[in-house]
Structure 1
Amino acid sequence: MEFEIDVRAIEKDGNEAKVYLLKNGNGMEVEILSYGAILSRIVVPDREGKKENILLTYESPEGFFTDRYFFGATAGRYANRIANGKFELDGVAYQLATNNGENHLHGGVEGFNRKFWESEVLELDDAIGVKMSYFSEDGEEGYPGNLSTTISFVLHADNSLSITMEAETDQSTIVNLTHHGYFNLSGMKENILGHELQIFADHYTPVGAGLIPTGELAPVEGTPFDFRKAMTVGSRIAATGGGYDHNYVIKKIHDRDLTKMAELSHAGTGRRMLLHSDKPGVQFYSGNFLDGKQATQGVAYTKNYGLCLEPQFFPDSPNQPQFPSARLDPGDKYRHRIVYAFEVF
């Protein structure tokens, strides 16, 4: 199979970012920005072969310069929430930037999704990809240690996209990177409440004020959080109160094995997405805070118009010693592999 790649440049405040368009010859296209290491579009065919974008996005890549929803973002240094932006490491207290009320969210005021990354094309025999690099200085957003991070986006012939995130530090720190894309397999024809979702988790982490986990690993059985069998997203969402924005416990330990986390399907188009990752948790977010103020190609992104499935360490794990640890020490390497595979039924 022949692969194609197109590259062009965009500019913000005198800084240049590259826009990469990857094609695999099997109907799948992926657009990636070196600004924010953002995955801005994924185009996949439906059961009739019609190709449509299935990620919430902007009219043009420049729209991501002012994004406030984390569309397609690489979230880091720490994805999700840290209570009060505070944690301790080896007896030293650290105060991170607080950008979600009193809490820290997705890396702070200017997380990795607002940085310009170095980038290069990956030359592969049976795939095509882009590798991006960013050096985060000691103290950035309050985090300790200089952190060197690389992310490789690779499009394969079988209509899968693998994302490999790696990081190294010169001082003990915490790291939790993920992809924060909003999926809508209908091609934006309807919201996601009719999508069928299956999450392979027996437990989830209940939350309290500010959506911070209470520390409990609660069984999903008998609750609206039970997606062990495929259910439509909207079938029990009213019973959750404000919608889904919860971490699911795929594993209680971090064994680093690539594991199937979830399946998402849309009956109308026949599209199905399979999610694999080597992290212990996945955040399911049902787009509760989408407000309709962004409209792309005539479609307003109102509440529940996209959903996120974010593989991760558990939220607030630096303050929850019973959770798998997100600590990274000098000499060790952080690694996170995510695979989104697309098929039709």
Structure 2
Amino acid sequence: MQISEKTILGKWKEYTLKNDMGMSVSILNYGGIITKMMVPDRNGKKENIVLAYRDYQGYELNPHYFGALIGRVAGRIKGATFTLNNEYYSLEKNDGENHQHGGSDGFHQIIWETETFQQKNTVGLILKYKSKDGEAGYPGNLDVVVTYTLTNDNQLRLHYTANSDKTTPIALTNHSYFNLSGNLKETVKNHEVMIDSSQFAELDKHLIPTGRLMKVEGTSFDFRTIRKLGTGFKGDFEQNKIAGNGYDHYFIFDHTKEYNVVLKDPTSGRVLAVKTNQPGMVMYTSNSLDEGQELTDISSSKYLGICLETQESPASLEQKGFPTVILQAGEIYKRETIFSFKIEH
């Protein structure tokens, strides 16, 4: 197990965690951004399996949130407002009339305090941040700790804890775009996906949940048995069309299977299995990814990556039936998502 660090652009630190199996993960203290994830294919060839900018300057704006920690609330808040305990809160409108991913100065744009650790079979990075009462419009002084742990079993564990002195909304996630082909050789159209979910949130034309939970059965959203991702890109289902001929939807987990999500690339043999105590996940298939941005291996294009944003749903601020984002004052927020990387021969 190894940890190395280097200075980036004279102002950030990048930490690289490496296990004894040759897998490595590189993370910035800026935004908690995962900049590289080197994972072997079925032939033992190690390649990067996340989208990343060719030049680090791209992360200064990072409009697509590549690899970043998202907070205080991941997802979209309708009208950039919410009411809590009879108090009205107004947030930044950074997605049309709505508030998205904690605002333009959210957790993806801050310098986190960092601390590394190394044990016999694990190596990791702890990130800490104190978000002050009123920051980005949210109530409460919020203490957040996020831990990235890499194991010798090729697991990357993301552990989130937080507490606030006022009742407040919170939904933390990581916004890495995965592409298991390695070094962005292909889009994710031929990736195969299993999601342990029998219902998802219907979206309106602004990508805001309508309040209706739809059954996946008989639709291109039925991933209860593994299926090719691209089948939903070219279908006639209205919900795929609304999202730009893809997916940008919240799935509620049934928690009936060993893993909540399994992602496979048949060509490389890489498999990503996801296990979490989060109630659901936004699956986003980079339908709105701008073309022409210089990434590590090629220029950006639609369907180049898939985000598996395990989280609660901000729709719960105004709709019933969604997993709540409300953290009570003095309560401990504790979530974990484990990404396990395997090989299928």
TM-score (norm 2): 0.94
> Is the aligned partner of 1:204 residue 2:200?
yes
**Separation (CA, whole Å) in 1 of partners of 2:258 and 2:144:** 23
After superposition, residues 211-222 of structure 1 pair within 5 angstroms as 211-222=207-218
Amino acid at match of 2:79: N
Q: What corresponds to 1:140 in structure 2?
A: 135
Q: 2:166 maps to what in 1?
A: 171
The change in CA–CA distance for 1:258 and 1:172 in structure 2 (over 3 A counts) is farther
Q: How does 1:244-283 map to 2 (within 5 A)?
A: 244-251=247-254, 260-283=259-282
Q: Take 1:260 and 1:336, find their aligned partners in 2: how far apart are those partners?
A: 16
Q: Which runs of 5+ in 2 are unaligned?
A: none
Q: Is the 8 A contact 2:196 2:254 kept in 1?
A: no
Whole-angstrom distance in 2 between the partners of 1:248 and 1:136: 28
Tell me the CA shift for residue 335 of structure 1. 1.1
Shift of 1:124: 2.6
Pair 1:80 & 2:75 matched: yes
Query: For the Cα contact (< 8 Å) 2:52–2:296, is it kept in 1?
Result: no
For each residue in 1:26-73, what CA deviation from the matched residue of structure 2 results, as whole angstroms up to 9, or x when unmatched?
A: 020000110001111111000000000000001244431231110001
Instruction: Give the conservation status (yes or no) of the 8 Å contact 1:261–1:282.
Output: no
Q: Structure 1, residues 191-225: CA drift from partner, whole Å, max 9, x if none?
A: 00010111110111111131111111210001111
Residue identity opposite 2:42 in structure 1: R
CA contact under 8 A between 2:196 and 2:257: conserved in structure 1? no
Q: Deviations over 1:134-180 (max 9, x none)?
A: 11111111101111101000000000000001111011101000011
Which amino acid in 2 is paired with 1:37?
G
81-90 or 117-126, which deviates more:
117-126
SS at match of 1:287: coil
Look up the match of 2:5: 7
The equivalences for 1:291-330 within 5 A come to 291-330=290-329
Q: Distance in 1 between matches of 2:109 and 2:343?
A: 34
Instruction: Determine whether 1:236 maps to 2:232.
Output: yes
Report the counterpart of residue 49 of structure 1 in structure 2: 44
The CA deviation at 1:291 is 1.7
Cα offset, 1:236, TM superposition: 2.7
Check the 8 A contact 1:247/1:315 in 2, yes or no.
no
Give the residue type in structure 2 aligned to 1:327: I
- Which deviates the most, 290-299 or 65-74? 290-299
- Note the alpha carbon deviations across 1:242-298, whole angstroms, 9 max, x for none: 21100001049xxxx997211000011000000111111111111001122212244
Q: Distance in 2 between matches of 1:258 and 1:91?
A: 40
Q: Return the offset for 1:21.
A: 0.5
Amino acid paired to 2:26: E
Q: Is the 8 A contact 1:258 1:276 kept in 2?
A: no
Which residue identity does 2:3 align to in structure 1? I
Say whether the 8 Å CA contact 2:24–2:39 is kept in structure 1: yes
Provide the rounded CA distance (Å) in 1 between the counterparts of 2:289 and 2:207: 17
CA distance in 2 between counterparts of 1:98 and 1:280 reads 26
Secondary structure of the structure 2 residue equivalent to 1:296: coil
> Secondary structure at the residue paired with 2:267?
coil
Q: Is 1:63 matched up with 2:58?
A: yes
Partner of 2:335: 336
Read off the aligned partner of 1:107 and give its amino acid letter. G
Note the C-alpha offset of 1:109. Answer: 1.4
Q: Distance in 2 between matches of 1:322 and 1:88?
A: 17
Asked if 2 retains the 8 angstrom alpha-carbon contact of 1:258 and 1:337, the reply is: no
Give runs of aligned pairs for residues 30-45 of structure 1, distance below 5 A. Answer: 30-45=25-40
CA 1:151–1:283: 2 relative to 1, 3 Å = same
Q: C-alpha separation between the residues in 2 aligned to 1:4 and 1:298?
A: 26
| 3-state SS of paired residue (1:215) | strand
Instruction: Name the SS for the 2:212 alignment partner.
Output: coil
C-alpha deviation, 1:122, in angstroms: 1.8
Greater CA drift, 176-185 or 206-215: 206-215
Separation in 2 of the partners of 1:272 and 1:26?
A: 16
